[in-house]
Structure 1
Amino acid sequence: MNRDRFWLTDAQFTRIAPHLPTDTRGKPRVDDRRVISGIVHVLKSGGRWIDAPPDYGPRKTLYNRYVRWAAKGVWVDLFHALASAGGPPVQVLIDSSAVKAHRSASGGKGGSATKPSAAHAAGARPRSTR
C-alpha cells in the first residue's frame, strides 16, 4: 500500500500503538495502521463500508474492527492518546450559530411591563370577589 494513503503520521501511530488491543486469536491481524486509515477514510468520506478502497484491507475487517473496538472503548483511548500529544493544534474549528429573532420578540406578550412573581401572587388577596 502506498504510505501516502495513511491518515496517521509515523509519530501519531507510535503514540497510539500501546493502546491497541493485543488479545487476538487465530489468523494474524491485518496491519492496524492500514485498517485505522481505512476506518478514518470511510468515516471522513461519509461513504459505506463496502465502498472503502481495497488498499485499506478487507471491508468486512474495517467494519468489524470499528464495531469491536467501539464496544471495548479502544477508540476513546486512541483519541485521548492523540489529544494529549501536547502543543497547539494546527487547525482550530469553532462552531457558532446565529438565530435571528423578530424585532418585537424582546418584550413578549403585553410589552415590557414587570409582572409580579407567581409566589407573590399566590399569597396575595384574590382580585375578584363573589
Structure 2
Amino acid sequence: MRGDLTDAEWAIMGDLLPPEHGRWSRPAHDNRLFLNGMLYVLRVGCPWRDMYERYGKWNSVYVRFRRWAEREVWDALLDTLVDLGLTDDWQPTYDG
C-alpha cells in the first residue's frame, strides 16, 4: 500500500525493533505490519480504531505502539535514522 515501508527501509529498521515475548504477544515477524499501521495512523492522524484492518487488529497495534513508547524504542529508532542521515532531527508527537 502507498506509504508502507519499502523492503530497503524495512531492512534498516526491522532489526532495530524489539522481539515480542509472552504468552499473548503477537510474533515479532508482525513488527513490519504493525509498524506500517502505526506509521499510517501517525501520518494521517486518524483514531486507532479507524486504522485499516490490513495492518491487524487496531488494539494490538496500539498496545505495541504504547509498549515501544514506554521502552523508548521510538527514541532509539529515530536516533539511529538521524545518525544514518536518513531523516531530519525531529521529535515525534503522539497522544496516548
Same fold (TM over 0.5): yes
SS for the counterpart of 1:31 is: helix
Normalising by structure 1, report the TM-score: 0.57
**Paired position in structure 2 for 1:12:** 9
Identity %: 31
**Rg (Cα) greater in structure:** 1
Instruction: Note the aligned Cα RMSD (angstroms).
Output: 2.2
Q: Which runs of 5+ in 2 are unaligned?
A: 89-96
How many angstroms does 1:86 deviate by? 3.2
Between the two proteins, the alignment pairs up a number of residues equal to 86
CA shift digits 1:83-122 (9 cap, x unpaired): 23337x6x9xxxxxxxxxxxxxxxxxxxxxxxxxxxxxxx
Give runs of aligned pairs for residues 1-130 of structure 1, distance below 5 A: 4-5=1-2, 7-27=4-24, 28-29=26-27, 31-86=30-85
The structure in which a higher percent of residues are helix is 2
Normalising by structure 2, report the TM-score: 0.75
